[in-house]
Amino acid sequence: MKLTAPTVLIACLLFNAGPLAAQEQSVNPGINDSFRDPDPQKFTERFEVESREVFAKRAEIVKQLGLQAGMVVADVGAGTGLFTREFAAGLGNDGRVIAVDISENFLKHIQVTCRERGLLNVETLLCSDDSTKLPEQSVDVVFICDTYHHFEYPAKTMASIKRALKPGGRLYVIDFHRIEGKSREWTINHVRAGQEVFEAEISAEGFRRVREVEGFLSENYMLVFEHKAAETASRK
């Protein structure tokens, strides 16, 4: 049977409808419901305690980023502002931290706690479920700690991060090891996938893994990426 031009067009649209529709669907619906209108004080008591690995190891985590004066750092999924404040204190007046979160409550809490500590180099940015809203080529470092598994639209969110990074910029991702039989039941039930899946998703959006930071985290892993365009430019 010979297909007419209109028939071919319809066939192409039907063929592509599946992938396009999938891109518009959340990979983990409801994962962020508790962050729509959170009580920052309650989350501070939960997040900023020594029993949480990334809090206990925060100084070593910050050290691994190798931040320098004048850098612009985006703390994506900033939450209560734990790392936002750590970064701001180390960057000095010449540097800047952009705290990015989907919750206005968290962002207001970050503004207050930073003012209380005299940290004047912090900005806040309300993001959406599928974009960080960061301006193009505006940041040197993007930091995502225990938040990637909360991305409902990881492809779109990572695309916005790639656009936001300056040439030569780095992406740091910390998330939970999810290993059947080894990880806590909470992790198995809460985190949608393991390291291999998340790495593949990030790589698919044009990032290249530089290294995995090992030796000081056990419940979490820490990965360093750069986007491939920056890698290509550095070789020219």
Cβ(54)–Cβ(220) below 8 Å: yes
Residue 26 belongs to some domain of the structure: no
CATH of the domain at 108: 3.40.50.150
At 207 the three-state DSSP class reads strand
One-letter amino acid at 154 equals P
- The pLDDT value given to residue 11: 39
The CA distance from 15 to 89, in Å, is: 52
- The pLDDT value given to residue 93: 87
- The pLDDT value given to residue 231: 52
- The pLDDT value given to residue 176: 98
Residue 116's domain spans which residues? 39-235
Cβ(169)–Cβ(230) below 8 Å: yes
One-letter amino acid at 15 equals F
Residue 200 belongs to some domain of the structure: yes
Outline where the chain has alpha helix (H).
5-23, 40-47, 53-56, 58-65, 82-91, 104-116, 154-164, 185-190, 195-204, 228-235
Q: Is the alpha carbon torsion for 30, 192, 127, 109 positive or negative?
A: positive
The CA distance from 215 to 213, in Å, is: 7
pLDDT tens for each residue of the chain, 236 residues long:
344 444 434 334 333 444 444 457 999 999 999 999 999 999 999 999 999 999 999 999 999 999 999 999 999 999 999 999 999 999 988 999 999 999 999 999 999 999 999 999 999 999 999 999 999 999 999 999 999 999 999 999 999 999 999 999 999 999 999 999 999 999 999 999 999 999 999 999 999 999 999 999 999 999 999 987 655 544 44
Residue 15 belongs to some domain of the structure: no
Residue 181 belongs to some domain of the structure: yes
Residue 6 belongs to some domain of the structure: no
The CA distance from 184 to 164, in Å, is: 34
Hey, which residues does 224 pair with through a beta bridge? 172, 211
Residue 1 belongs to some domain of the structure: no
Residue 25 belongs to some domain of the structure: no
- The pLDDT value given to residue 172: 98
Give the pTM: 0.88
Residue 32 belongs to some domain of the structure: no
Q: How many domains does the chain have?
A: 1
